[in-house]
Amino acid sequence: MAMNFFSLKRFKKKGYDEEDMVEAEDEYVELNTDSDGLGSSKVIVRPFVLDDFSDVKDVLDVLREGSTICLLNIKPLREKDMVELKRAINKLKKTCEAIGGEIAGFGEDYIIVVPSFAEIYKSSGVSRDPED
């Protein structure tokens, strides 16, 4: 409905154009801002449930794409196998470090993992380390 602010950008160019030997006039350049799926500016918040260590692969793949905030329910894996949960969290931490993202736990059942464009607000009620 609203006109896209960046759909038409005006470049003012004054001066002498050596090729044409004339003084340059105002020029308009139309910028294509239609998104075709590539370089989308939308951020996706996506929930995941960790039932098994292998479920971490899907989370890591989405994180590496760089436009998704992942909300992980770790309760099923925590109740099933604490060693596998710690292994999964360590894998997530290493990937976060590699992509410049962050990871934090909140409550006993959830972890949030964000790529580099986002920052997790950490108050005294939010654990900095999901293994705490």
- 13 Cβ contact partners less than 8 Å away, ≥ 6 residues apart: 24, 25, 26, 27
Kindly report the pTM of this predicted structure: 0.61
Burial of 127 by CB count in 10 Å (0-12 exposed, 13-18 middle, 19+ buried)? Answer: middle
How many Cβ atoms from other residues are within 10 Å of residue 104's Cβ?
18
Instruction: Report whether pLDDT(120) > 70.
Output: yes
- CATH class, 44-114 region: alpha beta
| Rounded average pLDDT over 94-122 | 92
Report the C-alpha gap between 53 and 87 in whole angstroms: 8
List, for residues 29-38, the tens digit of each pLDDT value. 666 655 554 5
List, for residues 33-89, the tens digit of each pLDDT value. 555 545 557 899 999 999 999 999 999 999 998 899 999 999 999 999 999 999 999
Report the C-alpha gap between 44 and 87 in whole angstroms: 26
